[in-house]
Structure 1
């Protein structure tokens, strides 16, 4: 039994194909509706699963091709993040057999597929399709900065995460590691290029620059809705990161930042000496930012894609406190009041200090100096909007100057 799945999001196609193939269906996928119609004609599937909103042509046009042009009754299952009645009614008026709203579980897709075309004769009875993978209506890019992580990288945890959570694209940034981290990352990527990439920095530039490079690299991926970063040691739980994404997806926040607040009901394990230093530093940070942050330095943050250029195009001036610089740039790009409305600090359920972290007690003492750098360095910071205004005025001045020069030359020749 054959299934054709058409969706412009590869991060949607991969888990669906993997699950249906494991059950016993023959599956083909396509990201382009025009090509999808040609594949339909040659593949002759028993079921078509198609997304509504795609570039070039919509899923409705593919349905018309099957129903009106080919005059076939092949079962069609439509997926969409749209919830309006008009879209649903239009689909059924054109002749679709089923409609599902994203997010939706793979279990339900499989159950509806079996209902529409039956179970394959060669069914993999050992395939237990009971895990809770959800096909999301958004795509998320995650930057993981890595420096000498050959021994510490939790490869299985990363792979399990992307197997259980659809819509994620991981970008590991090798920050000029001196061990075999790059080789480990390249091996991790093999066979998973659709949702894992490795960005290699030949020289070590520090976490701030590694994250910045990774964020800008993922910005080029037009399919992503949100981009964030996560520490390679996974001191922040994946489930907590998923909660951050859920928050930004269902709100008007531009940044959702994890917060390692020690409280009842949460497993937040910190070294006591580091905790005391952190409290002192955090007090200074709150004064500099004029924002009541509990924890700016948590290595788990998610951003609306549209603000990434504003915050990451310019290099950071400090090595470790780029998180503070991010929030300072939000103040400069918007205003203090507006920035407070666009930033959410969300408590984590779990965070554990991992042995081997790069920031030592001695390094912590240098942070005070770096905070002074931020306070003075951003006093005259020009926002991207200000720079655009300055560039526009400069261009106008240059044009007027050229016009004046031409008039002067003409007058001189006369």
Structure 2
């Protein structure tokens, strides 16, 4: 049995192809509607799996080609993040057999395909646990994780587990000129899941700001990423909260969604008391410089659209730690203050834990005041 999968997102296609091949189907993939239609005629599939939102043409055009131009009854299954009810109804009017809304698990996708065309006679042996819910996300997201001398505290198991289960995410681990065995640890993580984890190596330590900038510029070259974000290596903000930030930007007009470590009922937010007082003082200074009422610019968890990634990271930041403030200052200069306030969302985290071994000391906190003065002068 032959399946043609059409989707412009490489991460999605790789996961779909692997799963269906393991089930015994013969699979061909296409990363555009035009390529998919060409393959349809030569491959003669028993089922077509197609996305709706593709840059060259809508997946509905592929359905029109199959149903109206070719007058074929080949089963067509749509798998898309497009939840517009009119689009879905248009698909069924054209004659699709089923419509799956992302996020959706690989197991559900496989079950629906089996229901439509049956089960292949042979399958490929795999050690993958069958009861695991491996999810195909609505959008493809790149996450930059800067790492400097993280050999002893890198939570490798958490990174592996997240990359394995969340197939629309790609983790870009940036080695910021570490002097310990961090690079080897990162490469081991990449080898465990090469499709969803990559390593970008900076031979010289340039600081967190430059490590994140290099990682973002690396990811933005790949057009499959709808959103690009960054996250601290210690996972003080964990993947569950980061995924909540992604859901917010997916369902809004915000261009950047930033985590906020504001203490509130029902949230697990812990900081050292002295550190908390210093943070509050610094935040007040930052609000004054920005002229905008952001409560926590320095949270190390942010997600942005491609426009922000392309326009705000081209030039090096002037500070090593306060690049978050610089991003907002650059946005203010690019969009204007009032528009910038509408484009940035601060979303309170459900949990945030100060991790032992933080690279930012109390002495560094004093230097921050001087760096803020430098930012105020440079971006005035």
Quote the residue 2:79 is aligned against: 79
Coordinate RMSD, CA, aligned: 2.8
The answer on whether the counterparts of 2:254 and 2:345 sit within 8 Å (CA) in structure 1 is: yes
Q: Does the C-alpha gap of structure 1 residues 100 and 271 become closer, same or farther in structure 2, counting only changes over 3 Å?
A: same
What is the CA-CA distance between 1:351 and the residue it aligns to?
A: 0.9
What is the CA-CA distance between 1:4 and the residue it aligns to?
A: 2.9
Alignment deviations for residues 282-329 of structure 1 (CA, whole Å, 9 cap, x no partner): 222122222222211110001121122332112111111111111122
What is the CA-CA distance between 1:241 and the residue it aligns to?
A: 0.4
The answer on whether the counterparts of 2:164 and 2:193 sit within 8 Å (CA) in structure 1 is: no
Quote the residue 1:30 is aligned against: 30
Quote the residue 1:257 is aligned against: 258
- SS at structure 2 position matched to 1:337: helix
What is the CA-CA distance between 1:92 and the residue it aligns to?
A: 4.2
Listed as ranges, the matches of 1:13-412 within 5 Å are: 13-37=13-37, 39-40=39-40, 44-54=44-54, 59-60=59-60, 62-63=62-63, 73-84=73-84, 87-88=87-88, 91-92=91-92, 94-122=94-122, 130-190=131-191, 192-379=193-380
> 2 CA distance for matches of 1:298 and 1:226?
18
Quote the residue 1:3 is aligned against: 3
> 1 CA distance for matches of 2:127 and 2:177?
43
The answer on whether the counterparts of 1:23 and 1:125 sit within 8 Å (CA) in structure 2 is: no
Stretch of structure 1 that moved more, 3-12 or 61-70 = 61-70
Q: Does the C-alpha gap of structure 1 residues 85 and 327 become closer, same or farther in structure 2, counting only changes over 3 Å?
A: closer
- SS at structure 1 position matched to 2:244: helix
> 2 CA distance for matches of 1:321 and 1:85?
43
Q: Does the C-alpha gap of structure 1 residues 80 and 184 become closer, same or farther in structure 2, counting only changes over 3 Å?
A: same
Note the residue ranges of structure 2 that are not aligned, 5 or more in a row: none
> 2 CA distance for matches of 1:294 and 1:85?
37
What is the CA-CA distance between 1:154 and the residue it aligns to?
A: 1.7
What is the CA-CA distance between 1:256 and the residue it aligns to?
A: 0.8
Stretch of structure 1 that moved more, 348-357 or 147-156 = 147-156
What is the CA-CA distance between 1:70 and the residue it aligns to?
A: 6.5
Note the residue ranges of structure 1 that are not aligned, 5 or more in a row: 380-414
> 2 CA distance for matches of 1:196 and 1:25?
26
Count how many residue pairs are aligned between Structure 1 and Structure 2.
Answer: 379
> 1 CA distance for matches of 2:118 and 2:159?
34
The answer on whether the counterparts of 2:219 and 2:228 sit within 8 Å (CA) in structure 1 is: yes
TM-score scaled by structure 2? 0.88
> 1 CA distance for matches of 2:154 and 2:231?
13
What is the CA-CA distance between 1:47 and the residue it aligns to?
A: 2.3
Q: Does the C-alpha gap of structure 1 residues 169 and 69 become closer, same or farther in structure 2, counting only changes over 3 Å?
A: same
- SS at structure 2 position matched to 1:119: coil
> 2 CA distance for matches of 1:224 and 1:130?
28
> 2 CA distance for matches of 1:90 and 1:327?
41
Q: Does the C-alpha gap of structure 1 residues 86 and 362 become closer, same or farther in structure 2, counting only changes over 3 Å?
A: closer
> 1 CA distance for matches of 2:326 and 2:303?
15
The answer on whether the counterparts of 1:22 and 1:127 sit within 8 Å (CA) in structure 2 is: no
> 2 CA distance for matches of 1:146 and 1:214?
11
Q: Does the C-alpha gap of structure 1 residues 88 and 353 become closer, same or farther in structure 2, counting only changes over 3 Å?
A: closer
> 1 CA distance for matches of 2:165 and 2:35?
29
- SS at structure 2 position matched to 1:214: helix
- SS at structure 2 position matched to 1:309: helix
What is the CA-CA distance between 1:348 and the residue it aligns to?
A: 0.6
What is the CA-CA distance between 1:103 and the residue it aligns to?
A: 3.8
The answer on whether the counterparts of 2:160 and 2:193 sit within 8 Å (CA) in structure 1 is: no
What is the CA-CA distance between 1:58 and the residue it aligns to?
A: 5.3
Instruction: Look at both structures and tell me which one has the larger radius of gyration over its CA atoms.
Output: 1
> 2 CA distance for matches of 1:337 and 1:71?
53
